[in-house]
A and B are shown apart, each in its own frame.
Chain A
Amino acid sequence: DAGVIQSPRHEVTEMGQEVTLRCKPISGHDYLFWYRQTMMRGLELLIYFNNNVPIDDSGMPEDRFSAKMPNASFSTLKIQPSEPRDSAVYFCASSLWPGKENSPLHFGNGTRLTVT
């Protein structure tokens, strides 16, 4: 099992540019989560999907952020336009049904985003 795969690992962009982060969850996991990690705010849940459908996007900071899951094996998180305060590590995680005992989140290696 390759685990959760995220790309790119690092992204450096200028303010105002569009940024797209990509995620491939573990095959068979029907829950997918996007988290953002910063020193100040820790790990924040942005949005999560069940069976490709967004269930809770209350953590998405503002309209500049959007996430899609067109199929069970791919999700994107887009920031347009990007701002310096968006600089963070963005993690994608997947899991089986969270109500199942011992159904942990499996995190990808993350994308470190720097907006200058």
Chain B
Amino acid sequence: GQQVMQIPQYQHVQEGEDFTTYCNSSTTLSNIQWYKQRPGGHPVFLIQLVKSGEVKKQKRLTFQFGEAKKNSSLHITATQTTDVGTYFCAGRGGSNYKLTFGKGTLLTVNP
């Protein structure tokens, strides 16, 4: 079945440093979504990417979808303590409405 791999598993940064998490799928995706889960919370939707090569920005967050629609990345510029949490990518393939989640990257930020 479809597998979504995400790296790194953990990332610890100093406040103000940049952060990137990478997502790779074993199959071509129709779209990819990104979620953030704060410690003790539930996943909250951030964004969806649909088009090959698509780049979207939300303030300090930049999301990319690869040309082959099999990989994606999330980059945070100048991290803040409010960015702490686990970031998940989730891919959907073909006409199947199942959303397969990566295992997430836990980001901790040292103030």
Contacts and interface: CB of A to CB of B under 8 A. Distances in A.
Interface of A: 31, 33, 35, 42-43, 45, 48, 50, 55-56, 91, 98-99, 101-102, 104-110
A97 B42 CA distance: 21
Interface residues of B, number: 21
User: Which 4 residue pairs spanning A and B have beta carbons closest together?
Assistant: A104-B45, A42-B103, A43-B101, A107-B42
A4 B98 CA distance: 19
Interface string B18-46: 00000000000000010100000111110
Interface string B76-111: 000000000000101010001111111110000000
Given A105-B43, A107-B42, A107-B43, A43 B48 contact: no
B45 to A, nearest CB: 3
A25 to B, nearest CB: 14
A35 B37 CA distance: 14
B34 to A, nearest CB: 10
Interface of B: 33, 35, 41-45, 48, 50, 88, 90, 92, 96-104
B101 to A, nearest CB: 4
Chain A interface helix/strand/loop/mixed: strand
A98 B92 CA distance: 9
Contact of A105 (B41, B50, B96, B99): B99
A43 B88 contact: yes
Given A104-B48, A105-B99, 9 more contacts: A42-B101, A43-B43, A43-B88, A45-B99, A45-B101, A55-B97, A104-B45, A105-B35, A109-B41
